[in-house]
Structure 1
Amino acid sequence: MPGLFDPITLRTLTVRNRLWIAPMCQYSVFAEDGIPTDWHLVHLGQFAIGGAGLVFTEATAVTPEGRISPRDTGIWTDQQADAWSRIAAFVRSQGAAAGIQLGHAGRKGSTFPAWGSDRRGTVPPSGGGWTAVGPTDEPFDGFAAPVALDENGIDRIVTAFADAAARSVRAGFDVVEIHAAHGYLLHQFLSPLVNTRTDRYGGSLENRARFLLRVVEAVRAVLGDTALVVRFSATDWSDGGWNEADTAAVARWAADAGADFFDISTGGAVAGVKIPLSPGYQVPFAAHVRNAGQVPVSAVGLISDPAQADDIVRSGRADAVMIAREALRDPHFALRAAAMSGIDDLVPGAYRRAPYPRGD
């Protein structure tokens, strides 16, 4: 089996290793115009310098109303795409692949940012917020009620994802990821706990997956050879909710529709659930989707030790590993992990006077 520092190919893209940076919300667009700033350049660039194989942006909204908070990034305009282009170019210049996660928050949109404010819940329109949308008008716990999307609204969002994907390619991204996890809009349609519609977008698994599959097809149509990833939450952690079997089935359908790879996380659709946190707690879900869906996957979730990460890949439980919190603690985690494996060719020339101790 390949190891953590063996290359991997996604469609026509060869990624230098299998240790990747997961999307992480920053809530740092203080102008509230969706345009990424120097913060995003330095934040993401440090991971590329630090040896990661693939570096993903935070959830980047395909419409203004698709943002989680007013301080999120977007790519619904060419001006935003132009700002992203220098970030993607820098990441690539350091040998990493540049990935962008495209998302729509749905009923979890227009919320106060997770830091810099002592308020929680929904930002009202009078404070720079907006009315969110969802599968129905049922709110997420503690948030304002959304407006239920009609079919025309769904059509517009499908088009918005495709337009955002086209801008992403022009901006120089190597990989586009569709965010269908963590209780945001596409996950809201997938989860039977959230989606109680009675039209062709609700009810059966096929109907609940229809929106996502339309997005996959529309995005694939504009990507050319650019790699396409879909992020799933493989369980709602609640009886009667979305689960790993559903995820494996829909991942297979998404692969048939043009997706190349699947990023497996969990949770987020409903509040009040108990998640049994422990190192690598989501890895079994990734392994299930990989085996049952016969698709390549990445694993994420409290992966903080190089040996742990390498074992996940070598054991065949996942094809790549995503890190997030550990990358915030140590942006050069990949360099440290590589040194422990006796690999030092990831270290930039300017940093070679301070190598990590080798493990061999």
Structure 2
Amino acid sequence: MEHLFTPFHLKGLDLKNRVVMPPMCQYSVKDKDGIATDWHFVHYVSRAIGGAGLIIIEMTDVEPDGRITDYDLGLWSDDHIPAIKRIVDACHSYGAKVGIQIAHAGRKAEDADLPVAPSAIPFDQNSKTPRELSTQEVKDMVEKFRLSVQRAVKAGVDVIELHGAHGYLIHQFQSAFTNKRTDEYGQELTKFGREIIQAAKSVMPDEMPLIMRISAKEYVEGGYGINESIEFSNVYQKAGVDMFHVSAGGEGPIAAAGKPGTHVAYQVPLARELKQALKVPVIAVGRLDEPSLANAVIGNQDADLVAVGRGMLRNPYWTLEAATILQKETVIPNQYVPGFPRNN
């Protein structure tokens, strides 16, 4: 039976276990230039030493005004490649595989003088009203995603993740709640995401998997649900997505009627439904910090990989501790062996 420490294989990606460090913004760029710093290096490499099978570097943006804040990572220039490569190479040396999340914040770009979006609809009453992208600008944006993916490949990553969740630009285009366009990108809500997928695949090695993070449910009146997300994910899968990272929400203020519960694993049913409907590998995420729970998600075949976010922020060695608690075999660095009890 599969469990959290069973190896996982997808195309050219071989993981030693099913534990994923999901992308979590650090807002730690020093000079607003988008270049990763020593903080990012220590942050990611410590989780590789801590046993994670796959580390996905945080939301990394395709243009300066595509960042949530000016302190986010970027890949709009070749100048960004060396710092990312340094992180990737070090993580590889400790047995972890590395992905990177390529994104654009769209209307949620807080520090942009004038954010851009599919339609001129602000995120909330405290946000700037974005400028609607022209049709040509949308096509140019697809090219910016392609170039950023190409740079990520040059940096040596093992997998690419496109950020189509949490109310950012791809999500904004695929949602009728935020996309009120009348051109081709409004008539076909998945067109923008589909073209980005195809552009990304054009510069990725054939054996490199493409992950897409989606919000499988919108917690806002008039938002889409799991049935709609299965439909657009089917389009994305046919365009070239190999795995989905299943989250939810982020498109607007969460209405009381649709507010998700605070219980653990509240997003796992969404991952399970998508996995079963499309026969596609999925990553489950959301309050899965308890090792026995994370293990059950794999053992019950609800998901193929489990992303542990807050748990890894608290403890870089979460994976090593989980193996000890679950009495599963994993490689503990020799320097740290005295700190872990032997499995019986």
Q: 1:267 aligns with which of 245, 249, 270?
A: 249
Please tell me whether residue 190 in structure 1 is matched to residue 166 in structure 2: no
* Among candidates 121, 129, 134, match of residue 150 of structure 1: 134
Task: Give the drift of 1:357.
Answer: 5.5
- How many angstroms does 1:356 deviate by? 4.1
Task: Tell me if the contact between 2:220 and 2:254 (Cα under 8 Å) persists in the aligned partners.
Answer: no
Tell me whether 1:42 sits opposite 2:42 in the alignment: yes
Per-residue CA deviations over 1:279-327 (Å, capped at 9, x if unaligned) read 0111011111111122110110011111100100111111110011011
Partner of residue 312, structure 1: 297
Q: Distance between the aligned counterparts of 2:81 and 2:107, measured in 1?
A: 25
Q: Normalized against structure 1, the TM-score is what?
A: 0.91
Following superposition, the deviation at residue 344 of structure 1 comes to: 4.1
Instruction: Identify the match of residue 116 of structure 2 among 121, 133, 142.
Output: 133
Change (3 A) 1:356 1:61: farther
* Cα deviations by residue, 1:102-156 (Å, 9 ceiling, x for unpaired): 01000000x2xxxxxxxxxxx4xxxxx4311001111110210111011111111
Paired residue type of 2:25 = C
Contact 2:30 2:37 in 1 (8 A): no
Confirm whether residue 95 of structure 1 aligns to residue 95 of structure 2. yes
Cα distance in 2, alignment partners of residues 151 and 357 from structure 1: 60
- Contact persistence 1:252–1:295 (CA under 8 A): no
Q: CA deviation at 1:343?
A: 3.0
Secondary structure, in 3 states, of the residue corresponding to 1:352?
helix
Gaps of 5+ in 1: 112-122, 124-128
Instruction: Say if 2:162 is the partner of 1:181.
Output: no
Alignment RMSD? 1.3
1:162-311 alignment to 2 at 5 Å?
162-203=146-187, 207-224=188-205, 225-273=207-255, 274-311=259-296
Residues 356, 149 of structure 1: alpha-carbon distance in 2 compared, 3 angstrom cutoff = farther
Q: Which residue of 2 aligns with 1:24?
A: 24
CA distance in 2, matches of 1:133, 1:242: 22
CA distance in 2, matches of 1:289, 1:240: 21
* Structure 1 SS opposite 2:295: helix
Quote the offset at 1:240 in angstroms. 2.4
Moved more, 321-330 or 239-248: 239-248
Q: What SS does the corresponding residue of 1:230 show, helix, strand or coil? A: strand
CA distance in 1, matches of 2:225, 2:86: 39
Answer yes or no: is the 8 Å Cα contact 1:300–1:322 preserved in 2: yes
Contact persistence 1:335–1:356 (CA under 8 A): no
Partner amino acid for 1:51?
G
Letter in 1 for 2:277: A
Q: Which moved more, 1:59-68 or 1:240-249?
A: 240-249
Q: Which amino acid aligns with 1:173?
A: V
Rounded to whole Å, the distance in 1 between the matches of 2:108 and 2:335 is 43
Identity between Structure 1 and Structure 2 (%)? 39
- For residues 194-220 of structure 1, what are the alpha-carbon distances to aligned partners after superposition, in whole Å with 9 as ceiling and x for unaligned? 1111222124xxx11110010000001
Farther-moved stretch of structure 1 (2-11 vs 95-104): 2-11
Residue aligning to 2:64: 64
